Amino acid sequence: MSSTKFILGALVGAVVGVQIGILVAPDKGENTRKKIGKKGNEYLDEVNGKVNTFLDSLTKKVSDVSEEVDKLAKRAKAKTDELAK
């Protein structure tokens, strides 16, 4: 989980850095606002993609663990039934 927090923190830091760079660059206010909006949307799409990838991976792992637990439960039930006979 800490690597995920690090990656998310790095992405947020990069976004903030770019935004500050755009703000201090000499340009008209209207052009600056357009650049900020465009870059913000680009980074938001990138972060959303990474979060979705992470959630898909997490969902698959949870599903795999759930299947393994079901298998173990069935084996335990079979052993218990066998011992009961």
Query: How do residues 7-38 score in pLDDT, each as one tens digit?
Result: 878 888 887 887 787 777 777 778 877 887 88
pTM of the model: 0.50
Query: How do residues 59-81 score in pLDDT, each as one tens digit?
Result: 999 999 999 999 999 999 888 88
* CB-CB neighbours of 48 under 10 Å: 10
Q: Position 16: which residue type?
A: V
- HEC string of the chain? CHHHHHHHHHHHHHHHHHHHHHHHCCCCHHHHHHHHHHHHHHHHHHHHHHHHHHHHHHHHHHHHHHHHHHHHHHHHHHHHHHHHC
